[in-house]
């Protein structure tokens, strides 16, 4: 068969239409299908560094471990400190180290899911990398997305990062026990969230005092 | 924020395509970037130039087209552009962002139709 080839020095104009963010979205959809096949619900926990993502996941897990078999995917740049904090007899933790990346992506989560026995799990918490910007652009396939923000980060955390709050189903305002000392109003932060995303449920929480955790569970429809 | 991460994927794809098509030189790379992505055309260009160094794409012209944000309002049916504005906030915002509200009725029940693209649209290749 004669194969038609371009001549030497000819210029080819190749249309590709390859969308790199859509690639992630497609993988996220595949993750969702896999989770649903195994009847597993997944929750993506996002928030800035030190806002209390690990503490919240730890508390949610201990409140829920009697009802659900729980798995955790912990995302971090280089360490497994959080994974070790969260690991328990009943709870299986998989660590993802992103190296230099500022967010988890659906491909990394897909790999992590392969390391969890999905038939033996009902609920997965995915702890994203501490960052209020990049994770917004990378869905992972989770059923719900929580954003954790804390009063110790100051009064402007919500308005400065609108995109991530647009993606949230539940917003946790953590460390409310320190709000007076910080001079930061949790109510004002909640109002900022409402302006950006009126559909999100905003819950004041103090992980340290173990307050508000039941309300978060309710907001997640678990 | 993740400009390097995305640039690496774009660069890999460009080189792969060039090799597949037996190209000797990539002359042009055309990228579409939605204004709602967290990607900065300047940084993408910078990283691609670095990543293309010593490859068949080292001399490629990098063209980036910005795609404006358009929405469809589920409340009033408005379809079209939205303006960059967060002016309802009392805080000073020097680098203004889009607020995803309908410019006609103010509803936030909107669907983004354009503006989230991060697309390697086409490459121009000189064949061996």
A41-87 pLDDT, tens per residue?
999 999 999 999 999 999 999 999 999 999 999 988 888 888 888 88
Report CB contact under 8 Å: A137, B117: no
Task: Count the helices and strands in chain A (H runs, E runs).
Answer: 9, 8
- Per-residue pLDDT, averaged over A197-213, amounts to 96
The pLDDT assigned to A120 comes to: 95
The CA-atom distances, in angstroms, between B65 and each of A6, A19, B42, B122 are 28, 14, 11, 12
Minimum CA–CA partner of B100 in chain A: A196
The pLDDT assigned to A102 comes to: 84
CA distance A41 to B48: 39
The pLDDT assigned to A47 comes to: 96
CA distance A220 to A72: 16
Please state which CATH class domain A20-219 belongs to. alpha beta
Nearest to A123 by CA among A202, A217, A198, A207: A217
Contacts of B118 in chain A (CB under 8 A): 19-22
CA B101 to chain centroid, in Å, comes to 21
B82-122 pLDDT, tens per residue?
876 554 554 444 445 677 788 899 888 888 999 999 999 99
Report CB contact under 8 Å: B121, A15: yes
For the domain bounded by B3-67+117-127, which CATH number is listed?
3.30.2320.50
Look up the ipTM and state it. 0.74
> Who among A134, A162, A166 is closest to B1 (CB)?
A134
The pLDDT assigned to A76 comes to: 83
Would you say residue A210 has pLDDT above 80? yes
Residue A160 — very low, low, confident or very high, per pLDDT cuts 50/70/90? confident
The pLDDT assigned to A98 comes to: 83
Contacts of B17 in chain A (CB under 8 A): 14, 16
H/E stretch holding B81 reads strand B79-81
B14-46 pLDDT, tens per residue?
999 999 998 899 999 999 999 888 899 999 999
Chain B, 65 to 124: residues with Cβ < 8 Å from chain A are: 86, 88-89, 91, 93, 97, 99-100, 108, 116-124
The pLDDT assigned to B85 comes to: 55
The CA-atom distances, in angstroms, between B51 and each of A19, A48, B12, B118 are 19, 30, 9, 18
């Amino acid at each position: 068969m004669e194969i038609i080839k371009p001549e030497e020095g000819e210029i080819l104009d190749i249309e590709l239409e390859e969308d790199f963010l859509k690639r992630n979205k497609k993988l996220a959809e595949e993750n969702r299908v896999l989770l649903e096949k195994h009847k597993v619900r997944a929750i993506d926990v996002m928030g800035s560094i030190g806002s209390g993502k690990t503490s919240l996941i730890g508390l949610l897990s201990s409140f829920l471990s009697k009802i659900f078999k729980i798995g955790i995917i912990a995302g971090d740049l280089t360490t497994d400190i959080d994974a070790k904090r969260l690991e328990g007899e009943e709870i299986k933790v998989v660590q993802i180290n992103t190296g230099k990346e500022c967010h988890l992506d659906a491909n990394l989560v897909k790999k992590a899911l392969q390391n969890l026995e999905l038939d033996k799990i009902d609920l997965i918490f995915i702890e994203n990398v501490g960052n209020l910007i990049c994770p917004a652009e990378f869905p992972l396939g989770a059923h719900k997305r929580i954003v954790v923000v804390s009063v110790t980060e100051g009064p402007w955390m919500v308005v400065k990062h609108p995109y991530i709050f647009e993606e949230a189903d539940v917003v946790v305002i953590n460390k409310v026990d320190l709000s007076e000392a910080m001079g930061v109003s949790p109510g004002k932060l909640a109002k900022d969230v409402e302006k950006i995303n009126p559909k999100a449920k905003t819950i004041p929480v103090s992980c340290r005092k173990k307050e508000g955790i039941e309300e978060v569970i309710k907001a997640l429809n678990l | 924020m993740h400009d390097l991460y995305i640039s690496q994927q774009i660069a890999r794809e460009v080189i792969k395509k060039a090799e597949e098509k037996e190209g000797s030189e990539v002359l042009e790379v055309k990228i579409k970037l939605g204004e709602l992505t967290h990607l900065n055309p300047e940084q993408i260009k910078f990283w691609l130039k670095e990543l293309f160094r010593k490859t068949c794409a080292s001399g490629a012209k990098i063209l980036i087209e910005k795609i404006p944000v358009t929405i469809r309002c589920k409340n009033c049916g408005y379809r079209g552009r939205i303006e960059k504005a967060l002016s309802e906030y009392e805080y000073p915002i020097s680098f203004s962002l889009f607020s995803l509200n309908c410019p006609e009725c103010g509803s936030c029940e909107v669907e983004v139709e354009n503006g989230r693209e991060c697309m390697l649209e086409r490459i121009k290749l000189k064949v061996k």
